[in-house]
Amino acid sequence: MCFTQGMALTSTRATNSQLYSGWLPQLSQLTALTSLCLADNCLTELPPLAALKQLVCLDLSGNAPLQIAAPLTPMLTTLPRLRLVDMRAIHEERDNCWSDAKCKTMSHVAALAKAMKRRRPPGYVKFCPQ
């Protein structure tokens, strides 16, 4: 398989174990991938993304079981072209209250959003009038 631009795996109810057992091509081999959509599945953790240096858009929306234990901001250094991360509807829980793990997840998502707002676009040159 050759995925040079984008790849979508949505609404399949895929779990992490299915992704890691070869159900999906090894993401580490898809180094030219610019867009990855894993929306509306049952992911509980982020897939390994470090090798996807060309990634611009990452969609993880609708993965309500997703839990993120470590800060996401280092991902901005690892993935220098990343500009859009969609994590809508990962905050949903069956109960009215978030678990401690979900609180931590949402804290990491908020920190990532804040860091991405401050991020300069590629090729940014500060203009200083003389």
Task: List pLDDT tens digits, range 73-124.
Answer: 998 899 999 999 998 888 776 666 778 888 898 899 999 999 988 877 666 5
Domain presence at residue 124: no
- Specify the pTM: 0.75
The position carrying tokens 């250094």 is 77
6 versus 79: the higher-pLDDT residue is: 79
**CATH value at residue 70:** 3.80.10
In a domain, 14, yes or no: yes
Q: What is the domain count for the chain?
A: 1
Query: In terms of residue numbers, what domain contains 95?
Result: 6-118
Structural domain contains residue 80: yes
Residue 51 lies in a domain: yes
Tell me whether residue 10 is in a domain: yes
Q: In the block, which residue shows the tokens 């991405």? A: 116
Tokens at residue 16, please?
């992490």
What is the average pLDDT across 13-28?
63
37: enclosing H helix or E strand: strand 35-37
Report the run of H or E that residue 18 belongs to, with start and end. Answer: helix 16-18
Residue 12 lies in a domain: yes
Residue 75 in any domain: the answer is yes
51's tokens: 């090798």
Structural domain includes residue 130? no
